Amino acid sequence: MLAQNRDRPVSVGLLALPESTPTALYGLYEVFNSVGAAWSELTGEPPAGPAMDARIVAERREPFACALGLPITPHAALGDELRPDVVVATDLSLNPQQDPRGRWPAASAWLRRQYDRGAIVASVCTGSVLLADAGLLEHREATTHWSAAALFATYFPNVTLRPERILSLDGPEQRIVTSGGAASWEDLALYLVARLCGGTEAARVAKLFVLGDRSEGQLPFAMPDRPRRHDDAVVARCQEWLADHYAAADAVAGMLARSGLTARTFSRRFRAATGHAPLDYVQALRIEEAKQLLESTGEPADAIGRLVGYEDPAFFRRLFKRRTGTTPARYRQRFQSVGKPPRGGKAEHP
């Protein structure tokens, strides 16, 4: 597994061929290049791990049309001196009756070269056919789109195909990562972000792009707006106190006492400065802290409720669901599993 280095971005080469389809290619490009930047712009929070720098690589730098006719403009060519940390072969539009062996000699050789240099080599959907053609899947487990199983059986019989998996990891240091159907690029993206940039960054990506289980709507993914800038020194002083005392028994009363204002004036000035009533602001701060603890610790939900200021577990659970659209238990299950392959995918890192 590649070591994380906050001083430089994780470099990603997205390999594009004339047979490539655009969804995964451009989706991965946008998601990877958001890591370490988009969340900070939205919330003001600092990055939690290294950024990622994704570039499209093709046999030549000249633009070409992909399988669906959309233009692809590569950033680099296979002959350029590139040493990406990760290479991804996205899904390919293939005739299952046509022998794919030897079809992409330059791309296959480039993939082998990058793997020998230590890169993680990954695929989306039928992109695994390119990895197989490069010889990287010989006597290894891999997954692909279920419709390509017969193609593998015919032309790559030495690959142990696991088409039931969404993600499959194999090879030394698990540097061969294959994913299933075309939409599995989302699972691959979250896995690679978690592996190379950390679980916090992966959870942030999931929230930004609303990736994963959407059965409960968008609210579980939502974050509060970036704090407003304002010139009210009294309110700013109260906000600073609250940042360290949000779990106080009556945090609103604590801010009021420090403001030196009447309750009515304080409420009016606080809302004008922050856009929120004092109680709503306190509750938002507490619930955000609870979300962080649910994502990053194994503390029981009721204990987390007490840590953020709610002695009544039932009230905490009701408030949490009202503000997030889900229960604390479901929230934890959703975001602690971000970027982790399903069991059976050989997910344990050596």
pLDDT in tens, the chain (350 residues): 444 455 789 999 999 999 999 999 999 999 999 999 999 988 888 999 999 999 999 999 999 999 899 999 999 999 998 999 999 999 999 988 899 999 999 999 999 999 999 999 999 999 999 999 999 999 999 999 999 999 999 999 999 999 999 999 999 999 999 999 889 999 999 999 999 999 999 999 999 999 988 888 888 888 877 788 999 999 999 999 999 999 999 999 999 999 999 999 999 999 999 999 999 999 999 999 999 999 999 999 999 999 999 999 999 999 999 999 999 999 999 898 888 876 655 544 33
Can you read off the two tokens belonging to residue 246? Answer: 């949000």
* Backbone phi and psi for residue 326, each to the nearest 5 degrees, phi listed first: -150, 170
Burial of 58 (0-12, 13-18, 19+ CB in 10 A): buried
111 near 121, Cβ under 8 Å? Answer: yes
- Model pLDDT, residue 145: 95
Can you read off the two tokens belonging to residue 89? Answer: 């072969």
181 near 145, Cβ under 8 Å? Answer: yes
- Model pLDDT, residue 44: 87
Domains (range + CATH), the chain? 10-209 (3.40.50.880), 233-336 (1.10.10.60)
Helix (H) or strand (E) run with residue 170 in it: strand 167-170
CA torsion 16→51→4→25, rounded to 10°? -20
- Torsion region of 205: left, alpha or beta (phi above 0 gives left; psi -120 to 50 gives alpha): alpha
The three state secondary structure string of 14-78 is EECCCCECHHHHHHHHHHHHHCCCHHHHHHCCCCCCCCEEEEEEECCCCCEECCCCCEECCCEEC
Can you read off the two tokens belonging to residue 345? Answer: 């995918």
Long-range contacts of 189-193 (CB under 8 A, 24+ apart): 189/27, 189/28, 189/31, 189/32, 190/338, 190/339, 191/167, 191/339, 191/340, 191/341, 192/12, 192/32, 192/86, 192/120, 192/122, 192/339, 193/31, 193/32, 193/35, 193/52, 193/339
Q: What is the pTM of this model?
A: 0.87
- Model pLDDT, residue 107: 97
| Spatial distance between the Cα atoms of 17 and 183, rounded to a whole number of angstroms | 19
**Which residues is 76 bridged to in the sheet?**
57
Burial per residue of 219-249, b for 16 or more beta-carbon CB atoms within 10 angstroms, e otherwise:
ebbeeeeeeeeeeeebbeebbebbeeebbee
- Model pLDDT, residue 341: 74
